[in-house]
Structures are given as C-alpha cells and as structure tokens.
Amino acid sequence: MELKLVEILLEKYLEGTSSIAEEKQLKAYFSSEEVASHLVQYKPLFCYFENQKEQQYTKALPLQSRKHSYGKWIGVAAVIVAFFGTVGYFYNNSSDVDLGTYTNPEEAFVETQKALEMLSEEVNNGVESVVILKEYEKTKKTIFK
C-alpha cells in the first residue's frame, strides 16, 4: 500500500470520518511487517485486538463451593419465634377484666347521661364556631363585592 494513501486513511481515522473498509485497509497495513518508521507508533492501535485474541488466560480459577444460605432459614426461624411469642403474650394476658360495664342500671344511666351531656357541649361549641365563620363569610362577601 502506498505510504501517501496510508497517511490519508490514518488522518481520516483519527478525525473519525473513515469508513469500515478504510479501517480494514489500515488494519491490514499495520498488521504487516512493512510499516513506515514514522507510523510505527500507531501499530499497537490497530493490532491490539489481534494480539488479545492470541493471548490465553493461564491463571487457574478456583471453584467456588456452594455456600448454604443460612440467612433464609434464620429469617424463617425469626418469623416463627415472633409468631409464637405474640400468640403466647396475648394468650397469657387475656384476663377477664370488666371494662366499663355496670351491674346497676341506674348507675349506668347516670354515667351515660354525663357522657352525652359532655358530647352535647362539645358539639354546641363546634356549632358556635361555624356560626361565627358564616358571619365572617357574609361580611367578607359584602365588603369585597
């Protein structure tokens, strides 16, 4: 191959405008033994892949033994322990505690009236707040109309 053509193709290659066919020509040129002395620096660029194909991996690869996945079984055991712990806790603490039931009907009636009266007071406070807000809205509408 002519030296002038090689230099032109090399320039196109370095600029990134060469075609695949031109790159193959450059690869063929740099793979040969007749490379011009001022272009020898580019020889590794084009011969790299050929050199890598010829190399063999000689280091021995140790076989990795399959490790048992104890982590999965530890997780299963933890879930089982948590389940039985929760069941045991609720089973042992389920005592028959009388939670607010009254045996005397008059006493139950009085306590119910107290609770309903307190609820009524809170609802009335809420209604008063709503009335104030409605009055505010009415005033705002008349001012900004």
pLDDT in tens, 12-58: 988 989 899 988 888 888 888 888 888 888 888 877 777 777 777 78
* Global confidence as pTM: 0.37
**Which band of pLDDT confidence, cut at 50, 70 and 90, is reported for residue 99?**
low
Quick one: pLDDT at residue 14? 87
Burial class of residue 29 in the structure, from the number of CB atoms within 10 Å of its CB (0-12 exposed, 13-18 middle, 19+ buried): buried
| Per-residue DSSP letter, 62 | P
Retrieve residue 143's tokens: 């001012």
Whether 124 has a pLDDT exceeding 80, the answer reads yes
- For residues 133 and 143, what is the distance between their CA atoms, to the nearest angstrom? 15
Quick one: pLDDT at residue 136? 83
Whether 120 has a pLDDT exceeding 80, the answer reads yes
Whether 88 has a pLDDT exceeding 90, the answer reads no
Quick one: pLDDT at residue 13? 87
Whether 71 has a pLDDT exceeding 90, the answer reads no
Q: How many residues does the chain have?
A: 145
Whether 98 has a pLDDT exceeding 70, the answer reads no
124 backbone φψ class: left, alpha, beta (φ>0; ψ -120 to 50) = alpha
